[in-house]
Amino acid sequence: MALELGIPSPVVSGDSKLIINQLLKDYKVKKEDRVPYFCYATNLINKFKSVEPEHVPREENCMADALANLATTLALRGEDEAAQAMDEAHSGVCGAH
């Protein structure tokens, strides 16, 4: 999406210190099943002028966590469970909004 919007230097936030440090190349990717994801992310990062990966603790990133859970629910579950997840997200799982 950032590419399509012409954002030259996006900030990439994540709640996994491991993944952020791998993107920063401070840590190596040791698990074979994660190498394709790392390669995909690296190829995408290389399309930008610069990218700033930043760690955001999950408890400080409640909305993104809720959206990620919602996306997973919508993709993997039936309509009833997806509707329930939408209701929970709308009701403010992160507090009043």
- Rounded average pLDDT over 63-91: 67
Question: Within a 13 Å sphere around the CA of 44, how many CA atoms are in the beta-carbon half?
Answer: 16
Is the pLDDT score of 70 beyond 60? yes
What is residue 47's predicted lDDT score, i.e. its pLDDT? 94
Mean pLDDT of the chain: 81
Task: Dump pLDDT digits (tens) for 20-34.
Answer: 999 999 999 999 999
Q: Where does the chain have alpha helices with state H?
A: 2-5, 17-23, 35-45, 62-76, 79-90
